[in-house]
Chain A
Amino acid sequence: GENVEQHPSTLSVQEGDSAVIKCTYSDSASNYFPWYKQELGKRPQLIIDIRSNVGEKKDQRIAVTLNKTAKHFSLHITETQPEDSAVYFCAAGGTSYGKLTFGQGTILTVHP
């Protein structure tokens, strides 16, 4: 089955810096890669996703890159703000089947 590894487990940055979180996956059949943000005590919410027919996708300060050959994808947050502090999860799955496997999560702390 699919295995998703996420690094780092914790990340601390100063406000205005960039943050990068990386994930690797094992199943070459996976073609859907979402990222979720989870604030303390709340449900995970989708912030961006990418499908295997594109290499990069941007949405304002957030971008995701995908390297299908190397089986890794990354989340990039620029100009970080304190409200970006949360746990971030990557996931990998297929668009033709329902199973979605999550990474272990990254606790991002942005210091003012």
Chain B
Amino acid sequence: EAQVTQNPRYLITVTGKKLTVTCSQNMNHEYMSWYRQDPGLGLRQIYYSMNVEVTDKGDVPEGYKVSRKEKRNFPLILESPSPNQTSLYFCASSGGAGNTIYFGEGSWLTVV
């Protein structure tokens, strides 16, 4: 079954405590990305990756880091989380730009 799996699904953390949200896909997709979803703002792209070791900034990259060392994994790193990073985060993958994007189930992150 085609899957995009992200963890954790729910997390409450404190300001400044580094955290990583993992994302893994089993479809051998080249393209992966991270979005955050906030009320009234829709889905905003944080970072995307066209292939291993190839990443680029989306619309709201500040405060986030990513890495793509393996094709299947694309972790999102918050080095020093702040309350304005409280949001619902989605990882996504596709076979390439312009192809159907498959979303993970989402990760609810609260920074206090």
B partners with A: yes
Residues of A within 8 A of B (CB): 1, 6, 9, 31-32, 34, 42-46, 49, 51, 89, 91, 93-105
The reply to whether A99 and B58 contact each other, CB–CB distance below 8 Å, is: yes
Residues of A near B58 (CB, < 8 A) are 99
Chain B residue numbers with a CB within 8 Å of A100 are 33, 45, 48, 101
Are the CB atoms of A95 and B42 closer together than 8 Å? no
Interface magnitude class on chain B: 20 to 34
- Whether the pair A101, B98 counts as a contact (CB closer than 8 A) is no
A44: nearest residue on chain B (CB-CB)?
A: B103
- Please tell me which one of the listed residues B33, B43, B101 contacts residue A46 in the complex, with CB atoms under 8 A apart: B101
Q: Please measure, in the bound complex, the distance between the C-alpha atom of A102 and the C-alpha atom of B92, giving whole angstroms.
A: 14
- Please state if B103 and A43 are interface contacts (CB–CB under 8 Å): yes
CB distance from A99 to the nearest CB of B (A): 6
**B59 at interface, CB cutoff 8 A:** yes
Across the A-B interface, give the 9 residue pairs with the lowest CB-CB distance, nearest first. A95-B98, A43-B103, A102-B43, A32-B98, A98-B48, A104-B42, A102-B42, A105-B42, A98-B97
